[in-house]
Amino acid sequence: MAEIAMMMDGSRILELRARVARSDTTTELIVALGEITSTFGFNHFTLTDIPQSRDALLQSLIHFTSLPYPLIAAYDQAEILQNSAFVRSWRAATSPIEWDIDQFELDDTEAAFGQRLKTIHVRMGVVFTAPDCQPEPLAFLLFGDREPLDDAEKAELDRLAVAACRRFEQLRPVSAHHLKSLSSRELEVIKWTAEGKTSHEIGRILNLSDHTINAYLANAIRKMECVNRAQLVAKAIRLKLIE
């Protein structure tokens, strides 16, 4: 804790605030988020939309993350998102949510995923929310294997997290306020749909379940402000998102 306390000196905090505020691109903001993560003794970070009841896949909500992609894919493959009481608690959060795998009440699926987190030195973490961001409320998550945050650290991280979320809100392309960016997997599913493949056929190609393919398509339809798959494909082609 002494090492972390040394990092909490005023000049370093001012530097981190400035890095967030002067980020002119999302790449610069990602670098700033990485510095915040390491300065406070964490190993990984994620900036994501706060999942809503309609959302089935975490990876379609994530904007930036340092977590390994296979880990996030495994989370979605286990269909944890919609059944997680922990994730549901983010929607009403008015203060940071700190968690510890060994002290948190988890169902069997979440507990198994928790063991996978430990393999990348993640035992605990904290969720900071910015519910008034547009077009979707945002959350900044930190993951690591350190002692619980003290009150001063938690308060400063909360300020930095909200500032980072607001900066990202400003940096999103203008079109993204009406048309959220699609994930690479969603684009892949749209491409196969455009070629006339059914959900079952796409699932066989990508080694995913029909449920997962349908969830990707539902997310893409919502993000693209469409009403069905046909309109989704037509709009994706018109915007040159697929060929």
* Residue 150 scores a pLDDT above 90: yes
pLDDT in tens, 85-133: 889 889 889 899 999 999 877 788 888 999 999 999 999 999 999 999 8
The contacts of residue 2 (CB under 8 Å, 6+ apart) are none
Domains in the chain (CATH in brackets) are 2-176 (3.30.450.80), 182-238 (1.10.10.10)
What is the structure's pLDDT at 6?
A: 45
pLDDT in tens, 163-189: 999 999 888 764 444 455 788 899 999
pLDDT in tens, 8-21: 678 899 999 999 99
Q: Which of 172, 147, 136 is nearest to 60 (CA)?
A: 136
The contacts of residue 77 (CB under 8 Å, 6+ apart) are 208, 212
Distance in angstroms (rounded) separating the CA atoms of residues 124 and 12: 24
